[in-house]
Structure 1
Amino acid sequence: MTKKFSITGYQLKILGIILMVGDHIYEMFIYTQPPTILNMFGRIVLPIFLFLSAEGFHYTRNRLRYMSRLLLGFWGMNIGNRLIPSLFPMDEVMIINNVFGTLLLATLVMYCIEEYKQKRWLKATALLLMPFVIALPFMIWMSTGDGSPIFIYILQIFPSYLTVEGGYVAVLLGALFYIFREKRYLQFLSLATVSLLATGFDFSHLLTNYQWMMVFAIVPLFFYNGEKGRSDKYFFYAFYPTHIYLFYVMSYVYLNYLM
């Protein structure tokens, strides 16, 4: 049955960007008590971009180049996340955003899935375990309080399942979107399951712990028609860090000179 209304991948991305902007306005001006609904709608964003990454990874002609762009984005934001707060220091707001790490690990798992299909067992397993192994020294250091914080800098070079935005659950969701990309109802079931896990099965605090609201990403994803739409390969890579740093600086100016 053909949907009377449908949206392309580009339109889905624009929707994600709009909701993301509202979410980051909430984060950067949290001390002004902005409307919570901005943060609630922001829960829809990560599933949208994980879904689009699964689509993009499937169709790209060069998967390693696709992943290398995400790695460069991850490095760039790690630098920016240290530089901008050092130039405009404030205690009320922190920059902890770097979705490039999440998308990178999700696509790494997708790459491993394809390697397993080609029966390259050793390569696929080594790559799959690499982000976990990288995090082990950091986990030991955090648990004991001994050693050098150099482990933190290691995680700035390559992300870990445990430290990326959204955590291992987000990486898992991206992988499930890829595995079930030809079975949309299983993609939705995966998203619903992850959303249920996000509640911690504590249903008495659904309006305060609202990460589960990512389940509402099912609505726009339902209308996705499988078409890429307008091409803007590098727009998101530029827009994502730029708008975060712009809002941070605006927040700094407002807090220090206008409030």
Structure 2
Amino acid sequence: MKVHNYKIENNFEQAEGATCETCRKITLNGIGLLSGAQLKYIAFISMLIDHTNKTLLYPYLDGGIISAVSDVFDVLGRIAFPIFIYMLVEGYFHTRNKWKYLGMLLIFGVISEIPYDMFSSGVFFEWNANNIMFTLAMVLAMIWIIDVLRKKMEKLPKAVWFIATIPIVAIVCLISMNLAVDYDYHAILIGYFLYIFHEKSAIAIPFCYLAMFKEPWALLGFGLTLTYNGKRGRQNKLVNYLFYPVHMLILGIIRMCLGL
């Protein structure tokens, strides 16, 4: 009977330990409710709302109902970017071919540039404004370099590796500002924090939020990343890449035709 009681107590302790570990993971990673596909769809809707607002509502702000609607759209539009960059970092850890991933971002960066300039500047090409695909490509390249460095320095104290990453991040931040990519150094810092605290999103979010201090409502997007369940979900890769340039091309044509 004593042996039996010992087994029960031992099993209970193991179960309790497993439960505590599960709670710890939930606390650090968030609560898994949405797949990667579902989060991206939310981000697409948010981005479309934001870009429609900037193209069709901003020119007609009058302090009345249009301004009120525009303010709501501004809030909803801040959800997109945190989700996109979060999914980029997740993609880095799960992709089978990092070169292909980087190549696709660069290719669609080139494809998206004219639509982006039409949408954002009302011209066919603007040197001082470059689209988010190039930004994401820079973030991906940076965390790849840092990750390779980590593996080469794994026998050294982690603090040494961490210090070694700082000049890399600083250089990429400077490059992003000089190339005038969308979200510039803010995106670089956010990507870095999400990489450093991978699988510890709850810790990463305060740092990411500080890096995006100009956009307080971005906290909504960062909060939604805590609902990621680690599953890819049903996605169409081509649609994921094409949505960005196609919707901007349509909005850009509208803007230029209306002279907005």
1:177 counterpart = 2:212: no
Q: CA deviation at 1:160?
A: 5.2
2:52 to 25, 42, 45: 25
Paired residue type of 1:217: G
Distance change in 2, residues 1:20/1:72 (3 Å): same
Residue in 1 that maps onto 2:104: 69
SS in 2 for 1:54: helix
Match of 2:147 among 92, 102, 114: 114
Q: Kindly provide the CA deviation profile for residues 169-199 of structure 1, in whole angstroms up to 9, marking residues without a partner as x.
A: 211101211221211211222223224xx24
- Flag the 1:76–1:229 CA change in 2: closer, same or farther, 3 A: same
Shift of 1:132: 6.4
Q: Does 1:54 align with 2:119?
A: no
Is the contact made by 1:78 and 1:98 (CA closer than 8 Å) also made in structure 2?
Answer: yes
- 5 Å matches for 1:152-171? 163-171=180-188
- Relative distance call for 1:17 and 1:162 in structure 2 (3 A) is same
Q: Which has the higher helix share?
A: 2
Quote the residue 2:41 is aligned against: 14
Query: Closer, same or farther in 2 for the Cα pair 1:39/1:17, shift >3 Å?
Result: same
Contact between 1:74 and 1:101, CA under 8 Å: does it hold in 2?
yes
Question: 2-side partners of 1:52 and 1:74: how far apart?
Answer: 17
Superposed, which structure 2 residues align to 1:157-236 within 5 Å? 163-195=180-212, 198-199=213-214, 211-236=215-240
CA contact (8 A) 2:32 2:228 kept: no
What RMSD over aligned residues (CA atoms) do the two structures have, in Å?
Answer: 3.2
Gaps of 5+ in 1: 136-158, 200-210
1:105 to partner: Cα distance: 1.0
Taking a change above 3 Å as real, the CA distance of residues 97 and 212 of structure 1, as seen in their structure-2 partners, is farther
**Paired residue type of 1:105:** M
Cα displacement string for residues 147-174 of structure 1 (whole angstroms, at most 9, x for unaligned residues):
xxxxxxxxxxxx6566221121211101
Could you tell me which amino acid in structure 2 is paired with residue 106 of structure 1? V
The amino acid of 1:31's aligned partner reads P
Which TM-score applies when normalising by structure 1? 0.70
Supply the distance in 2 between the matched residues of 1:168 and 1:97 (Cα, whole angstroms): 13
Say whether the 8 Å CA contact 1:106–1:174 is kept in structure 2.
yes
Closer/same/farther in 2, CA of residues 174 and 250 from structure 1, 3 Å limit: same
What code does the residue aligned with 1:240 have? Answer: Y
Q: From the superposition, tell whether residues 164 and 57 of structure 1 become closer, same or farther in structure 2 (CA, over 3 Å).
A: same
1:220-252 residue CA offsets vs partner (Å, 9 max, x unmatched): 112111111113222121110110110121233
- Residue in structure 2 matching 1:237, options 222, 235, 241: 241
**Corresponding residue SS for 1:118:** helix
1:17-47 Cα deviation digits (max 9, x unpaired): 0010000001112212242221222122111
Match of 1:234, SS state, is helix
Distance (whole Å) between structure 1 residues aligned to residue 32 and residue 40 of structure 2: 17
